[in-house]
Structure 1
Amino acid sequence: MAAAPQETTPDTSAPVWTRVAVIGAGAMGAQIAGVIALSGREVALADTARDALDRAGTTLRGRWDSRVAKGAMTAAERDAAYGRITFSDNVSDAVSDVDLVIEAVVEKLDVKRDLFSQVDGAARPGTVISSNSSSFVPSSMAEAIADPTRFLGLHFFNPALVMKCVEVIAGPQTDPQLMSDGTRFVEQIGKEPVVLRKEINGFVANRILNAVRDEAIYLLEGGYASVTDIDRACRTALGYPMGPFELMDLTGVDIGYLTKKARYAASGDPKDAPSRTVSGLFDTGQLGRKSGRGFYVYDDKGVKQGENTDRPGASD
């Protein structure tokens, strides 16, 4: 009698997606590439702007030099991680021979869709395609590729080199095995996955965060308390590492504005639209730390100098 076939247990320790391309060399894309390189994987960081790639390389080197100086990593670990990153100004070349693509470009749906169409045409069949979008659901982007079953959301948080959370978001057509692989990948790169088995605009963390931000804006625009005092209350009473206005300045007022615009476009509910305060800052180019002004004023090293009393609506 033939022996019964033995059941095999999948090797969950085996590396998932060993070759990765990150598209977009801004603050998030650069740090996502750094996280993946630190996990021992080869990563191509692609952007059509050569100066963005140069800044990304300089930023990563600077952060890792600081870690070496503090004894948090060795010079050999730094050099090995940096050596795993390839910087490319040709997106099609960067995605031509990878297992996973992570999009990290501007939060504009038409830009993302155009990029996914390009990636789909240049990548190998079966390549997993994902987005770092902080608000757009997978189904709104997966329609740009031929096989939406191989699309999912992988939402990292700023600063990605530090923050542990990565949201893994399924679209209605995402292959369940892809969600399992995505969760393992997040764990293997040293992060903690939060799995969304059904898509919703804003996902989990940002929906909760936006509720806090909306209340902070309400208190500010109603004249109940200042930017500084609302932030202080969140730090000293609620234990937040930084207040909602400090966080908006860190991540970029423009990111919050575009996220709100996207949610309003999806829901049609006026409460989902950007507030007049955030709209005013966006319209005047006061985008937070990166522009030197937002809810606060910053020096050329990004150090907070005090509340921005010249922001739109500050004298109301």
Structure 2
Amino acid sequence: MELHDVKDIAVLGAGSMGHQIAMLCALGGYSTTIYDIQEPALEKAKENLEFQMGKWIQKGKISKEALEEAFARLSYTTNLEEAVRNTDFVIEAVVEKLDVKRNLFAAVDRLAPAHAILASNSSTIASSKIADVTSRPEKVCNMHFFFPALVMDCVEVVMSDTTSQETADVTLAVCEKIKRTGVLLRKETWGFVANRLLFALNKEALKLYEEGICDYKDIDIIVKKSLNHPLGPFELMDLSGIDVGYYALEEKYKETGNIEDKPPVSLEEKVNAGTLGRKTGKGWYEYKGAGVKVK
């Protein structure tokens, strides 16, 4: 399989990552289908994309004609078989829970063409934990975009022991076609590269906060002013979604049993309260309008 064989892409999950990844694929010239089990999620995805891409037109980043062509290549469905039956490339972007991903990959493997590559956008769950439920482990890999996908350039393409070089090469070529920088990791590790570094920073930030060393707002100020980060760790948790980091740590704790890997109490409290960051209007900070932080 080569890049020219990829014409149709299915993105599974219409959430904060999925709909933006799908837009990138449509902008890259691919016939793209967004699948989600919930119709309201698809409606919200379409609404968000129309708003976000409208801002691109206002800023002169894309012409109205080019955007109309991209939207014409984009379709939405709650029917998994419809989404993948003619696909050449699948990008899974559902909740960061291993059992959910395994069930989905098993179903997709039965429904998608034999030649199709199955990629997971998971930020921490390695594809080797999913590939064994399929009949094509050599065609399974990680394709980890960063939030927000329409802004962030990097994509981590991660090979497992069973991922073929052909799969890696095609995935990197897809990254290039959708104007993203794909970086190949030939060996799996929890969190890959970016999130392994990020989670180390977040872990220390949360520990400092929970020990009463410093208020979370002041930790953000220190990180931005002294390390020159554009966002502090708590602001970044709000941007990415507090539940995303929580579920990633929860999966790691299930795997290792190490108390050090257990999600911090402050994260668990926010997930239980449903205050997950910008997407819910409140996380560590409060937001109004289009994700504007309330001082």
Whether the TM-score (by the shorter chain) exceeds 0.5 is yes
1:226 Cα deviation after fit: 1.2
Please state if 1:127 is matched with 2:116.
yes
**AA paired with 2:80?**
V
User: In the alignment, which of 91, 100, 123 is matched to residue 89 of structure 2?
Assistant: 100
Cross-structure match for 1:243: 232
Residue of structure 2 equivalent to 1:277: 266
Distance 1:234 1:195 in 2: 29
Displacement of 1:18 in angstroms is: 2.2
Shift of 1:300: 4.5
The match for 2:43 is 54
User: Higher helix proportion, which one?
Assistant: 2
On the 8 A contact 1:16/1:185 being kept in 2, the answer is: no
Match of 2:25 in 1: 36
Partner of 1:228: 217
Question: Normalising to structure 1: TM-score of the pair?
Answer: 0.90
Q: How many residues align?
A: 295
Give the SS at the match of 1:27. Answer: coil
- Paired residue type of 1:73: I
2:283 and 2:189 mapped to 1: Cα distance?
29
Q: CA deviation at 1:225?
A: 1.5
Question: How far, CA to CA, are the matches of 2:102 and 2:234 in structure 1?
Answer: 31
Over 3 Å counting, the alpha-carbon distance change for 1:82 and 1:185 in structure 2 is same
Q: In the TM superposition, what is the alpha-carbon distance from 1:252 to its structure 2 partner?
A: 0.9
Is the Cα–Cα contact under 8 Å of residues 16 and 184 in structure 1 kept in the other structure? Answer: no
Match of 2:13 among 20, 24, 29: 24
Q: Which amino acid aligns with 1:177?
A: E
Of 292, 295, 303 in structure 1, the residue corresponding to residue 292 of structure 2 is 303
Residue identity in the other structure for 2:157: V
Q: Deviations over 1:4-42 (max 9, x none)?
A: xxxxxxxx9x64622100011111100000011111111
Q: Distance in 1 between matches of 2:165 and 2:261?
A: 31
CA distance in 2, matches of 1:267, 1:193: 30
CA distance in 2, matches of 1:211, 1:280: 20
Unaligned segments of structure 1, at least 5 residues: 1-11, 307-316
Q: Report the alpha carbon displacement of residue 301 of structure 1 after superposing the two structures with TM.
A: 3.7
The structural deviation recorded for 1:304 is 1.1
Aligned to 1:5: none
Shift of 1:63: 0.8
Listed as ranges, the matches of 1:2-13 within 5 Å are none
CA-atom RMSD in angstroms:
1.5
**How far did 1:268 drift?**
2.0
Which residue of the partner structure matches residue 140 of structure 2?
A: 151
Counterpart of 2:65 in structure 1 is 76
**Contact 1:157 1:165 (C-alpha < 8 Å) held by counterparts:** yes
* Structure 2 counterpart of 1:258: 247
Give the TM-score of the pair, scaled to structure 2. 0.96
Cα pair 1:98 1:127 within 8 Å, conserved: yes
